[in-house]
Structure 1
Amino acid sequence: MTGKISRAVMTALAVCLITFSSLGHAQAIDETPSALAMTGDALLVRPALFATTIVGTAVYLVSLPFSALGGNAGEAGEVLVVGPAKATFVRCLGCSRTGRRAETVDQDSN
């Protein structure tokens, strides 16, 4: 009896995991953020990312002799300084992807 219940629970769990993972991948990334997303980004996320950039810079400077000896100073700088700086300063307000927002071109200019 417990074997049948266990098998049914495992089957239901597998079906749920497969279904929910496919739904998560099917959603498009929204690049037209709402006013709430922009406000939350400006008041909460950007200051936290700026602090992360400062702390990452300090950690990079302290670890620079070790990463230079290890041969990965560039990679450490990219991860600790450049990545957080791009997320802080080169991202449209409320957007989820780092980088500049693509400009739209009007096709009806005849």
Structure 2
Amino acid sequence: MTAYALAHLMPAEPHPDVCEYLERIQATLDPFGGRFVVHGAAVEVREGSWPGHLVIIEFPTLADARAWYDSPAYQAILPLRADHIDGDLLIVDGVGPGHDSAAMGRAMRAALT
């Protein structure tokens, strides 16, 4: 099942280390089948607030996403970004093709009674 790494990154001043991180990150993703789905595009906030930028990287599986993050190649470049841009990074499993939110809602309703 597809998995995702999501980063909510706060605004920051440009820095040469961040440029190097951007130049090197794709090489860390390739061995794990990672690809950018969203990378810093403007967000349209409809509810709440969202300071900063959104990055979404897709992986074939949750194991691939975890292996990428823990890989020596990614850990070597992580400080280039993390030392200059605050943010949060999450890894999450996607839903399968048979996902049914109505069934999920019915199960939640049943649990309430």
TM, length-normalised to structure 1:
0.28
More strand by share: 2
Higher relative contact order (CA 8 A, sep 6+): 2
More helix by share: 1
TM, length-normalised to structure 2:
0.28
